[in-house]
Amino acid sequence: MRDWLTQHPVVRNLIGSVVGGLLLFASFPPRPLWFLAPFGVALIVAVLRTGSSLRGGFGYGFVAGAGFFVPLLPWIGVYVGPLPWLALAAACSVFFGAFGAIARAVAILPWAPLWIAMAWSLCEWGRSSFPFGGFPWGRLAFGQADGLLLPIASVGGAPLLSFAVALCGVGIAYLVEGALRGERRALLGPGVAVALGPLVAAALWPTLSTMADGDRHITVAAVQGSVPRLGLDFNEQRAAVLNNHVRRTLQLADDVKAGRVPKPDVVIWPENASDIDPLRDATADRAITDASEKIKAPILVGAVLSNDDDTTTNSVIVWNGADGPGDRHDKRIVQPFGEYLPYRSFFRLFSSYADRAGYFVPGHGDGTVHAAGVTIGVATCYEVAFDRALKDSVRNGAQLLTVPTNNATFGDTEMTYQQLAMSRVRAVEHGRAVVVAATSGVSAIIGPDGAVVDESELFVPDVLVAQVPLLSSTTLATRLGPIPEVLLGLGALAALGVALLRRRNNDLLGTPSGEELDGSGERELEDLGDHPDV
């Protein structure tokens, strides 16, 4: 078998690409295998090091992306079939393909591991931005909530954390290659690339805020009322969903009165807790008011509000007992193909579910609401995946963060754990406690160091009550904002420009353009993209 693979390098590399992608997938929650991510990157880079064709690099990168995204995103198609799931996986894999091409281009430069890791950052930025606002799901950083490199998020946010993982992985690939070739002098640079991230992270661990820190502490409650049934039509029983959250809040009030739990200063309901517009429906208004009065605290109510033009907003309203609605956060980053459908007339040709997409419009607030004298940053569900959402909240004074979410439309899948990991990374990134309130789970209380203090089970009504710190200091990541990602992207583009110019000059002069040699000293001619059968 080994001899056969040696004689068929394209097949060998395709297998290596798929396995590399699968290692990345295995590093993501709910599996505690975060340490596999650098090895997944290393295997992908090792495949890319077998040739110099940019077309081949794109092909191998795309295959690696499919190996990662196809098993990562099946929750997309739980209730709508495999087409949207596979289409999204393919679209995301294109950016892995771009990484493969860029990585091969810049591999001819000195300090190649650095430029290749920057190329990873550039392609993650591209996927997080385009098209339709991007899809950041699956960034390397979001698989590292339990990882040793997590503190790096406090310096440069999710982009720098992803870069650190990628740099470690690229360094591993170059270390192994140098060791196999017996090139001891070539091991120093890759060795530094592997060790740099863990050393920086180790130095940063003691600087992270914890639940014991803070200007003062308040008691919060996250209510998980659960839903009557899962699926796209769960909200047909909108009254039942609202009643579930009212009922759990009233039970909490009874527990407080009996002294079983401390009285919360703020109660947080999840996204879609009231899909009946409480600003227009008197029954919903009375139910929420009664719950707030009984618990004697403001409730952050996740609600769908109807606009006069037949559009809707996905909102979080601060409900202050008999005083009614106060501050409001309208979700600013709405989900394409779910909350709204771009090019609806075109996409309805491919799926009967197209017309079930909503007509939500984005809000324009500053990402904060005020309740019980506290400034609370809000990122509703999908928003937590985007760097700018909670960065804006903290810059606008948020002392505490919350992520109200509704995962009932994705069934019993890994999606909720993947999203919970994002909240944990955001906690470290901004040095804030995070309260995750989910309709059907998993709800959680997260410390500013990313540790999960308490969490609920899936599909079980529950209330989490905890004391959380209010912090006003800001991390370097919050202050820098997008600057680290911009610098990494510019570095990759500059390296790519130099590399393409060098390749062009080499072609004009008729000199080799940096093709890598395989273990026998012969150039791999059957590179993907150059192979006559591809």
The answer to whether 236 is a known catalytic residue is no
The answer to whether 123 is a known catalytic residue is no
- Is residue 223 within 8 A of residue 441, CB to CB? The reply is no
Q: What is the structure's pLDDT at 135?
A: 98
Q: What is the structure's pLDDT at 306?
A: 96
| H/E segment holding residue 290 | helix 282-295
- Is residue 237 within 8 A of residue 228, CB to CB? The reply is yes
Residue where the block lists tokens 């060790």: 195
- Residue 517 domain-assigned (yes or no): no
* CATH number assigned to the domain comprising residue 254: 3.60.110.10
- Residue 533 domain-assigned (yes or no): no
Q: What is the structure's pLDDT at 527?
A: 42
Distance in angstroms between the alpha carbons of the first and the last residue of the chain: 23
135 and 200 inside one domain: yes
pTM of the predicted structure, to 2 decimals: 0.93
Instruction: Pick the catalytic residue from 92, 331, 383, 429.
Output: 331
Q: What is the structure's pLDDT at 512?
A: 64
Q: What is the structure's pLDDT at 353?
A: 67
Residues contacting 426, CB < 8 A, separation 6+: 158, 379, 384, 390, 401, 403, 432, 434
Instruction: Pick the catalytic residue from 92, 123, 168, 381.
Output: 381
25-35 burial code (b ≥16 CB/10 A, e <16): bbbbbeeebbe
- Residue 520 domain-assigned (yes or no): no
382 and 314 inside one domain: yes
Q: What is the structure's pLDDT at 347?
A: 76
Q: How many residues does the chain have?
A: 534
Instruction: Pick the catalytic residue from 124, 177, 271, 414.
Output: 271
329 and 402 inside one domain: yes
174 and 262 inside one domain: no
Q: What is the structure's pLDDT at 526?
A: 37
367 and 233 inside one domain: yes
49 and 144 inside one domain: yes
198 and 229 inside one domain: no
220 and 141 inside one domain: no
Q: What is the structure's pLDDT at 533?
A: 32
Residues contacting 74, CB < 8 A, separation 6+: 85, 413
- Residue 226 domain-assigned (yes or no): yes
The answer to whether 331 is a known catalytic residue is yes
Q: How far apart are CA 523 and CA 534, in angstroms?
A: 19
- Residue 522 domain-assigned (yes or no): no
Long-range CB contact pairs, 370-373, < 8 A, 24+: 370/318, 370/326, 370/327, 371/266, 371/298, 371/300, 371/318, 371/320, 371/326, 371/327, 372/218, 372/265, 372/266, 372/297, 372/298
3-state SS assignment for residue 378: strand
45 and 115 inside one domain: yes
- Residue 40 domain-assigned (yes or no): yes
Q: Domain total for the chain?
A: 2
465 and 485 inside one domain: no
55 and 167 inside one domain: yes
- Is residue 384 within 8 A of residue 139, CB to CB? The reply is no
- Residue 161 domain-assigned (yes or no): yes
489-507 burial code (b ≥16 CB/10 A, e <16): bebbeebbeebeebbeeee
Residue 516 DSSP class: P
User: Tens-of-pLDDT digits for all 534 residues of the chain?
Assistant: 677 767 789 999 999 999 999 999 999 999 999 999 999 999 999 999 999 999 999 999 999 999 999 999 999 988 788 999 999 999 999 999 999 999 999 999 999 999 999 999 999 999 999 999 999 999 999 999 999 999 999 999 999 999 999 999 999 999 999 999 998 888 999 999 999 999 999 999 999 999 999 989 999 999 999 987 655 454 457 889 999 999 999 999 999 999 999 999 999 999 999 999 999 999 999 999 999 999 999 999 999 999 999 999 999 999 999 999 999 999 999 999 889 999 877 877 776 667 778 899 999 999 999 999 999 999 999 999 999 999 999 999 999 999 999 988 787 889 999 999 999 999 999 999 999 999 998 999 999 999 999 999 999 999 999 999 999 999 999 999 999 999 999 999 999 999 999 999 888 877 665 544 333 333 333 344 344 333
- Residue 529 domain-assigned (yes or no): no
Whole domain around residue 345: which residue ranges?
216-472
125 and 156 inside one domain: yes
